[in-house]
Amino acid sequence: MLDRQRLATPEIRRRSGLRERPPRPRLLPRLALVLAGFLLAGAAGAGAYFLPVLTTTVSAVGTGQIGSVAGIAAGGDQPFTVLLLGSDDDAKFPADAVLTQSMIVVRVNPATKQVTMLSIPRDLWVTIPGRKGKAKIDTAYQLGGARLAIETVETNFHIKIDDYVWVGLKGLIHLIDRMGGVDVNITNPVMDDFYPSDIDVKNPYGYYRLAILPGAVHLDGAHALQYVRSRHGDLRGDFARSERQQQVLLALKGESKQVSLSDLPDLASAFNGELKTSIGLDRVRGMMAVAGRLGTSGIQQVVLLPPYTNPQMVGDQDVVIPNWPLILPLVHQSFP
Amino acid sequence: MRRIAATALLLALMAGFGAGVYRLLDSHRSRTLPQAESAPAAPGLGPVLPGTFYLAQGGSIYQFQKGKFKKLTPAEGWTQPAASPDGTRLVAVKRGFNSSDLYLLGTDGRVMAQLTHNLSTVVEYNHWAFFPRFSPDGNSIFYSYDAKDPGNSYRVDMAVYAMPVGSLKPVARPWTNPNQYTGGDVSPTPLRAGGLVYSKFAADADGKVFSQVWIQARAGSPGLGLTRAEDNCGQPAVSPAQTMLVVVCHPAKDVSIVETASLDPAGYSAGPLQPLVTAPLVASPAFSPDGLSVAYFAPAAPGRPFQLWTAALAPAAAGGKLPAPRVVGPALGWDSGSAPVWV
């Protein structure tokens, strides 16, 4: 029987009613198919897990406007510069037309483990690209979003911004709460009788009293926001506030050592639309690795106090006049 | 049929693998450590230490005695207790939304009297009262209070005031004159000799605010620094014999040092600072009743809750090394701004 089958031509087989045995499939392509299936399923699982992160980074300024940081993605040692923007995104302002109360430029050099944080006074009187005359730098974001804020910093300070992160008030609260709070040393009492009561309230123009007492404390998100936002009772007003913002940022950097890549979806969902960034998930991974390698000894903090700036009245506005001949050489020491 | 079954099985395995990847990633998520909010009222949580502690956590005051915690007040904003010299009463802060007041309590937590009345319906007319301490004779209470500046509503600086206890209409008297826009004068400790030790905030030439431990002979007298400006020291506590001072100094960023110094209250001077504990964050030191140890708060690791620690001031044997500080009880997340009371 076997011999008959083997010797018969297809025509003979058909006529004699012999059934044709299907060709034996090759094992390798089938294995590859199964493997690809498993890979796809794994990718889908990971994609589902990181979905909140992906949807957060979707709100980025289009690539091409901002330089890409390929070195970070590869876990390399290429220096990069990030503009951190913080806004009072309460009911006083239309959504996406808010002022930036905080602007901090951070330069990280992974090779030398050097970090420089430059706080830009929100009332700095500067040229806004595409606009006539001068205006406070905090209006740039209101007029043209992150793109104009970046362009304004780049134009005035003659530096290159690679990426940006924008965070709203509640975003910061939720981030710090999700990280379990933050430990800081309060250097002096922060007293404010007119702290804005504008989060989750009907009247965003209300205020309340604040007393943050000196000493080492563990702050939750709401209290940490109060600490970095208050400015009325301080001798140096916005400058002291800038220093407190840098202090909490550094404390958060310390706390972030306990955060892994797997925590990112939790953190991203905590923002609930209160975070916008140009940094994709691939680069977040690289940045976390870089942050983990950085110590506190290589961190330089720059606040543009007088004589780098000079508070003045222009018309009916309190503004801060930049002393560019002093500022630019200082900035270019750390921001090429 | 077998092929369909095999395909279905493979698809199910793939779906399971995808779900497994999700679960694997989820299992690597770090669980953020919440600050302990549960009452540490369970018995036997801590080692047996001599004396009695009064500590604040989550708006409640707790007593810690013979290794057991006991909740004295409900969670209603209570903080910063201090004991009377005879140990029969406490004075503590009850903090509200826009104001805080001082209350006299029994050692069982029962409210005996409200000492200040700082609440107002107008936000900026409210006042704060913090850091209360009994005078050595137990007849007065020293505390930090924010008097208003009629010329500038933005200025809120605390000064040290003293008020008699037991008077029907107690009138508080200012003792110190705070530097403007620094936050003012805090953490007063009245001395048996009649003077006052406290933390004074001041600004350097660049406007940067720092802290100095200050001593003052009388109400309104000028006073002088017991520590140097560059040491940036505050949170002073005085030993029961009033011959030693313990402070927290921040001479550099990310460095906190609990330091001790000899104290001469009559001569208004202190000896050189001696480091006792160095850590990124330490807070609110206080002496033991025998003056041989110091209790303070610090996290066991960065980002962890503040725990109570004790450090001996002298080695167990002459010529030996100082024993390492030891932690008291589990990580309960104590209110680090409320100095432990150890009587």
| Chain length of chain A | 336
pLDDT tens-digit readout, A4-28: 555 556 565 566 565 656 666 678 8
Distance CA B20, CA A141 (A): 43
Mean pLDDT lowest among A37-41, A60-64, A142-146, A328-332: A60-64
Distance CA B60, CA B340 (A): 13
Q: Which two tokens stand for residue A30?
A: 């089938």
Q: Which residue has the tokens 């560019």?
A: A324
Buried b (16+ CB within 10 A) or exposed e, A53-91: beebbeebbeeeebeebebbbeeeebbbbbbbbbbbbbe
Rounded to two decimals, the ipTM of the complex is 0.88
**Mind telling me how many Å the CA of B142 is from chain A's nearest CA?**
17
Residue A211 has phi, psi (to 5 degrees) of: -140, 105
pLDDT tens-digit readout, A223-264: 999 999 998 878 777 888 888 999 998 888 777 666 666 777
Helices A169-178 and A264-271 pack at an angle, to 10 degrees, of 150
A48 C-beta neighbours (distance < 10 Å), count: 15
Chain B CB contacts of A261 below 8 Å:
28
Is B12's Cβ below 8 Å from some Cβ in A? no
pLDDT tens-digit readout, B67-117: 888 999 999 999 999 999 999 999 999 999 999 999 999 999 999 999 999
Side chain identity, residue B226: L
pLDDT band at A64 (very low <50, low <70, confident <90, very high): very low
Is A39's Cβ below 8 Å from some Cβ in B? no
pLDDT band at A41 (very low <50, low <70, confident <90, very high): confident
pLDDT tens-digit readout, B274-323: 999 999 899 999 999 999 999 999 998 877 889 999 999 988 777 788 88
**Mind telling me how many Å the CA of B254 is from chain A's nearest CA?**
8
Q: Which two tokens stand for residue A253?
A: 């950097």
Residue of B nearest to A299 (CA): B253
The DSSP secondary-structure symbol of B202 reads: E
pLDDT of residue A52: 66
Q: Which two tokens stand for residue A181?
A: 């709070």
Distance CA A89, CA A101 (A): 10
Distance CA A125, CA A121 (A): 9
Q: Name the burial class of residue B109, with classes exposed (0-12), middle (13-18) and buried (19+) by CB atoms within 10 angstroms of its CB.
A: buried
Distance CA B154, CA B208 (A): 18
Q: Which residues contact A172 (CB under 8 A, 6 or more apart)?
A: A86, A221, A224, A225, A228, A274
pLDDT tens-digit readout, A133-155: 999 999 999 999 999 999 999 99
pLDDT of residue B290: 93
Is A262's Cβ below 8 Å from some Cβ in B? yes
Residue of A nearest to B250 (CA): A187
Chain A CB contacts of B152 below 8 Å:
none
Q: Which of residues 175-234 of B touch A (CB under 8 A)?
A: 180-184, 186, 199, 201, 203, 206-211, 232, 234
Verify cis geometry, omega within 30 degrees of 0, for the bond prior to A311.
no
Chain B CB contacts of A193 below 8 Å:
123-124, 153-154, 156
The DSSP secondary-structure symbol of B229 reads: G
Side chain identity, residue A247: Q
Distance CA A276, CA B56 (A): 39
Do A176 and A224 meet the contact criterion of CB atoms below 8 Å apart?
yes
Side chain identity, residue A183: D
* Pairing status of strand A114-120 against strand A299-303: parallel
A228 C-beta neighbours (distance < 10 Å), count: 23
B177 C-beta neighbours (distance < 10 Å), count: 17
Chain A CB contacts of B199 below 8 Å:
214
Using the predicted structure, report yes or no on whether residue A56 has a pLDDT greater than 80. no
Q: Which residues pair with B105 in a beta bridge?
A: B90, B111
Q: Which residues pair with B306 in a beta bridge?
A: B299
CA dist A140 to A81, A122, A125, Å?
19, 10, 11
Do B165 and B173 meet the contact criterion of CB atoms below 8 Å apart?
no
Tell me chain B's radius of gyration from C-alpha atoms. Answer: 25
Distance CA A11, CA B106 (A): 110
Buried b (16+ CB within 10 A) or exposed e, B129-139: bbbbbbbbeee
Beta strands in A245-332 (DSSP E): 275-277, 299-303, 309-314, 317-322
Is A182's Cβ below 8 Å from some Cβ in B? yes
pLDDT band at B229 (very low <50, low <70, confident <90, very high): very high
B124 C-beta neighbours (distance < 10 Å), count: 15
Using the predicted structure, report yes or no on whether residue B173 has a pLDDT greater than 70. yes
pTM, entire model: 0.82
Q: Which of A39, A117, A192, A193 to mutate to test the interface with B (most CBs of B within 10 A)?
A: A193
pLDDT tens-digit readout, A311-334: 999 999 999 999 999 999 999 988
CA dist B155 to A187, A191, A282, A288, B146, Å?
18, 8, 48, 41, 10
